[in-house]
Amino acid sequence: MAKKQQRILLVNPSCLDPRISGEDARIVPMGLFYIGAQLMENGFDTKILNLAGAEEDPVGVFKKALEIRKPDVISFSVMNPNRWNAVDCARAAKKIHPEAIIVFGGPAPTFLSEHLFSVCPEIDYIVKGEGEITFWNSWPRLRQGNRWKTSRDW
């Protein structure tokens, strides 16, 4: 029987406030494309969801995407201005799909891992710094379902 292809949803969360330069804030960060390209190259069913482009109710848009995609792993690219939307989505995700693995990466979790883990126990993993190699090397650990670890603790 064919092995089930893992479904990955990569998310660019929405900023809390309308930013000074709206168009800049809606762009998907290039780093997330790097992570996505690597996953696709390795045969994962990968999609990017840009919540920063959602006109209203980004958590509602996220929930709809979950219903359609049913991802195994949900990974957020997080900066300080969009971290609360990432936290809200992680909470919603664990209610809807408790088995989904939640990963945070990007500039905010790199420096605020303890803060984010403490306000959001729904986060399973935080990848610090550049993600391509770390995220990939951590894949076996993600699949074992270990929790409460950051990439620098391994």
Distance separating alpha carbons of residues 14 and 146, to the nearest angstrom: 28
| Residue whose CB is less far from ligand B12, 64 or 115 | 115
Q: How far apart are CA 135 and CA 16, in angstroms?
A: 26
Strand partners for 9: 47, 74
Q: Considering only 38-46, 55-63, 123-131, 142-150, which stretch makes contact with ligand B12 by CB under 6 A?
A: 123-131
Judged by CB under 6 A, does residue 106 bind ligand B12?
A: yes
Question: Which amino acid does the sequence have at 67?
Answer: E
Between 3 and 69, CB nearer to ligand B12: 69
Query: Is residue 132 a contact point for ligand B12 (CB under 6 A)?
Result: yes
The answer for residues whose C-beta is within 8 angstroms of residue 124's C-beta and 6 or more apart is: 101, 102, 103, 142, 145, 147, 148
Site for ligand B12, residues 74 to 93, rule: CB under 6 A: 75, 77, 79-81
Rounded Cα distance, 104 and 123, in Å: 7
* Residue 103 makes contact with ligand B12 by CB under 6 A: yes
Strand partners, 45: 7
Asked if 53 touches ligand B12 (CB under 6 A), the answer is no
Residues forming the site for ligand B12 (CB under 6 A): 12, 15, 19, 21, 24-25, 27, 29-32, 34-35, 52, 75, 77, 79-81, 103, 105-108, 127, 130-132, 135
